[in-house]
């Protein structure tokens, strides 16, 4: 009777640090993000929020200094 | 040959051969694992220890459900960072700079560096307290800790750094022993984990601000920058996305589990009517009831939490600064190859260590500043993240947000905006809500 050799499948696992470099989504040639309505409003609300917070910090600073 | 049938065979540096699909998936996970676990566990830093212990001491087990609620939120936010990091191979600071321009880039970087440095000082303050409590002179122990933090990072090997840091993260799981030590009523713990409830009595501003502090502690701005840079440094591939998500999810479970253990320990102080100002004072008061072993393990874990926080926060600054400046910025590089990157890391660690050794250092002012700046930073960092994840010019279909991602994320962003605003207003104008 022919002796059948059991074939064991092998799977390779390579650590990311030692693997070939892959091409990533390229950001270099894109420049700045397009100002869609969503982007515009999100950045606008962020600006308003930051101005409000900066105002509060200035108010607190002046208050601590005894200006009012 | 016997080797032929072995389940795992290392063939060359960084490569193993396994004989089943299941083993292949498992090995891939272990190789990818790191950034998610580290960022999540390191989030339970000195400030977190203080916040969760305080929550347990003030309100018992009543706020445990909040941690369960924060689990998916923290995961969803960090999962976006995973996608962005893997897709672009670049850090968060670099992406903001390139896609939103110099002004937003500089603002985000300056805010990150400032809030990170101030947080770093609070980490060293906890190291000072913890080591002092363990009987070491802080004037030797704090500089030695700073040197150890530097030595761990400047080896020029990402893997060496990651392995040691993962061990420190696993040590953090020992909080479970402290939780077990105080013998809580586990059925009550389970009840409060599952069923949301608030402490009896009126809802006070103190309770609201503690809830805000817990949310702010669990989701911190530096985490976004750290994990994306870490993923870029580890060179995770598109095919690693699934494993990286799992890594982040495992990390999220660990961080919430550890936070719950801290709250359970705080609850013990609540049951025994102990009053304290900081965790070191609390453990000193608990020592006569629970023994010196409890006290020493608590202080050791507090130092471990602060060390993990100090290392990851300083690294997130160094990576972000290096990315924006265009310097070489990798843990795989030696100090000679990436001098700027290491100077930022070493400089911030040494300066923070020196500040806490100064007599009369303004620690209270620093803690308040951290809260205000973190309040400013978190909404802006998350808005940029959300916009970048909807950037179809940059990302392909695999990585861009789906409609359900956007629905969840915008809801989280609005809630975080309101919470951050409320916290910052309270810190800046203490009487605004009274």
**The two three-digit tokens of residue B227, written as one number:** 């994990």
Residue B320 has pLDDT above 60, yes or no: yes
CB pairs under 8 A between A and B: 121
Q: Tell me how far apart the alpha carbons of residues A12 and B32 are, in angstroms, rounded to a whole number.
A: 15
The residue among B12, B89, B401 with the most chain A CBs within 10 A of its CB, best to mutate, is B89
Q: Tell me how far apart the alpha carbons of residues B177 and B294 are, in angstroms, rounded to a whole number.
A: 9
Q: Which residues contact B272 (CB under 8 A, 6 or more apart)?
A: B286, B289
| Cβ pair B18:A28 closer than 8 A | no
The three-state secondary structure class of B199 is coil
CA distance B419 to chain A (A): 13
Phi-psi region of B329 (alpha: psi -120 to 50; beta: other; left: phi over 0): beta
Shortest CB distance from B89 goes to which of A11, A24, A50?
Answer: A24
**The two three-digit tokens of residue B306, written as one number:** 């602060």
Shortest CB distance from B393 goes to which of A19, A30, A59?
Answer: A30
Mean pLDDT of B144-169: 96
| Cβ pair A32:B375 closer than 8 A | no
Cα dihedral angle (B346, B349, B351, B352), rounded to 10 degrees? 170
Q: Tell me how far apart the alpha carbons of residues B380 and B106 are, in angstroms, rounded to a whole number.
A: 13
Task: Please provide the DSSP assignment of B254-317 as one string.
Answer: HHHHHHHHHHHHHHHHHHTT---SSHHHHHHHHHHHH-HHHHHHHHHHHHHHHHHHHHHHHHHH
Supply the ipTM of this predicted assembly.
Answer: 0.85
What does the pLDDT read at residue A5? 63
pLDDT tier at B30 (50, 70, 90 boundaries)? Answer: very high
What does the pLDDT read at residue A2? 54
Task: State pLDDT tens for residues B366-416.
Answer: 776 776 677 667 778 888 999 999 999 999 888 999 999 899 888 888 887
Largest distance between two CA atoms of chain B: 78
The residue among A24, A44, A50 with the most chain B CBs within 10 A of its CB, best to mutate, is A24
Q: Tell me how far apart the alpha carbons of residues B374 and B395 are, in angstroms, rounded to a whole number.
A: 28
Shortest CB distance from B429 goes to which of A17, A46, A56?
Answer: A56
| Cβ pair B234:A16 closer than 8 A | yes
CA distance B387 to chain A (A): 7
User: For residue B315, with 0-12 CB atoms within 10 Å meaning exposed, 13-18 middle and 19 or more buried, which class applies?
Assistant: buried
Shortest CB distance from B393 goes to which of A19, A34, A43?
Answer: A34
Mean pLDDT of B235-255: 97
CA distance A2 to chain B (A): 21
What does the pLDDT read at residue B88? 94
The three-state secondary structure class of B11 is strand
Provide, as residue numbers in chain B, all residues whose Cβ is less than 8 Å from the Cβ of A60.
428-429
Q: Tell me how far apart the alpha carbons of residues A24 and B333 are, in angstroms, rounded to a whole number.
A: 21
Residue B364 has pLDDT above 80, yes or no: no
Interface of A with B in 3-42 (CB under 8 A): 8-19, 21-22, 24-25, 27-28, 30, 32-34, 38-39, 42
Residue B225 has pLDDT above 90, yes or no: yes
What does the pLDDT read at residue A4? 59
Mean pLDDT of B65-79: 93
Mean pLDDT of B193-204: 83
Shortest CB distance from A49 goes to which of B19, B90, B379?
Answer: B379
**The two three-digit tokens of residue B76, written as one number:** 């969803």
What does the pLDDT read at residue B1? 44
Residue B29 has pLDDT above 90, yes or no: yes
Chain B residue with Cα closest to A6: B5
Mean pLDDT, rounded, of chain B: 89
Mean pLDDT of B144-165: 96
Quick one: B33-428 is in which CATH superfamily? Amino acid/polyamine transporter I (1.20.1740.10)
Residue A1 has pLDDT above 80, yes or no: no
Chain B residue with Cα closest to A37: B387
Mean pLDDT of B290-301: 93
Chain B residue with Cα closest to A27: B394
CA distance B236 to chain A (A): 6
| Cβ pair B14:A18 closer than 8 A | yes
Chain B residue with Cα closest to A38: B387
The three-state secondary structure class of A15 is coil
Task: State pLDDT tens for residues A8-35.
Answer: 788 899 999 999 989 888 888 888 888 8
Provide, as residue numbers in chain B, all residues whose Cβ is less than 8 Å from the Cβ of A27.
88, 90, 94-95, 98-99, 394
Q: Tell me how far apart the alpha carbons of residues B104 and B287 are, in angstroms, rounded to a whole number.
A: 50
A57 touching B (Cβ < 8 Å): yes
Please state the pTM of the whole predicted model.
Answer: 0.92
Residue B216 has pLDDT above 60, yes or no: yes
What does the pLDDT read at residue B35? 97
String of b and e for B387-398 (b: at least 16 CB within 10 Å)?
bbbbbeebbeee
Shortest CB distance from B236 goes to which of A16, A50, A56?
Answer: A16
Count of other CB atoms within 10 angstroms of residue A66? 6
The runs of H, that is alpha helices, within B134-236 are 138-153, 158-172, 175-181, 186-194, 205-218, 221-234
């Amino acid at each position: 009777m022919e002796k059948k050799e059991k074939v064991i499948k092998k799977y390779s696992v390579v650590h990311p640090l030692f693997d070939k470099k892959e091409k990533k989504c390229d950001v270099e040639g894109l420049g700045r993000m397009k100002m869609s309505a969503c982007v515009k409003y999100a950045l606008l609300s962020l600006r308003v929020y930051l101005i409000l917070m900066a105002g509060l910090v200035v108010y607190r600073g002046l208050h601590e200094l005894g200006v009012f | 040959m016997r080797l032929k049938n072995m389940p795992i065979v290392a063939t060359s540096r960084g490569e193993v051969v396994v004989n089943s699909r299941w083993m292949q998936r498992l090995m891939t996970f272990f190789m990818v694992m790191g950034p998610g676990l580290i960022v999540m566990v390191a989030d339970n830093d000195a400030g977190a220890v203080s916040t969760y212990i305080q929550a347990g001491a003030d309100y018992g087990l009543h706020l445990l459900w909040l941690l369960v609620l924060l689990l998916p939120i923290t995961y969803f936010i960090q999962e976006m960072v995973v996608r962005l990091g893997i897709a672009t191979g670049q850090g968060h600071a670099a992406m903001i700079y390139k896609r939103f321009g110099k002004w937003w880039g500089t603002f985000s970087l300056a805010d990150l560096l400032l809030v990170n440095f101030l947080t770093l000082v609070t980490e060293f303050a906890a190291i000072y307290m913890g080591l002092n409590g363990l009987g070491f002179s802080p004037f030797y122990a704090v500089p030695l800790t700073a040197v150890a933090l530097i030595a761990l990072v400047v080896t020029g090997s990402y893997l060496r750094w990651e392995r040691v840091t993962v061990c420190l993260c696993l040590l953090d799981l020992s909080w479970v022993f402290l939780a077990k030590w105080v013998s809580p009523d586990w059925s009550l713990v389970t009840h409060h984990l599952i069923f949301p409830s608030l402490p009896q009595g009126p809802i006070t501003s103190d309770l609201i601000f503690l809830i805000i502090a817990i949310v702010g502690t669990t989701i911190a701005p530096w985490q976004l920058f750290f994990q994306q840079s870490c993923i870029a440094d580890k060179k995770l591939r598109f095919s690693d996305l699934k494993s990286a998500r799992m890594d982040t999810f495992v990390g999220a479970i660990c961080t919430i589990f550890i936070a719950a253990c801290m709250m359970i320990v705080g609850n013990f102080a609540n049951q025994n009517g102990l009053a304290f100002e900081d965790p070191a004072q609390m453990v000193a008061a608990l020592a006569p009831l629970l023994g010196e072993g409890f006290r020493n393990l608590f202080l050791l874990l507090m130092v471990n939490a602060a060390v993990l926080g100090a290392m990851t926060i300083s690294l997130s600054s160094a990576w972000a600064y290096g990315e924006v400046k265009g310097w070489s910025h990798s843990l795989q590089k030696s100090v000679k190859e990436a001098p700027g990157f290491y100077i930022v890391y070493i400089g911030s660690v040494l300066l923070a260590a020196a500040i806490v050794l100064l007599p009369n250092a303004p620690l209270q002012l620093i803690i308040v500043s951290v809260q205000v700046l973190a309040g400013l930073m978190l909404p802006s960092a998350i808005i940029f993240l959300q916009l970048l994840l909807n950037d179809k010019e940059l990302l392909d279909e695999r990585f861009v947000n789906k409609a359900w991602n956007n629905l969840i994320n915008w809801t989280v962003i609005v809630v975080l905006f309101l919470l951050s605003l409320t916290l910052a207003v309270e810190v800046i104008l203490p009487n605004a809500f009274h």
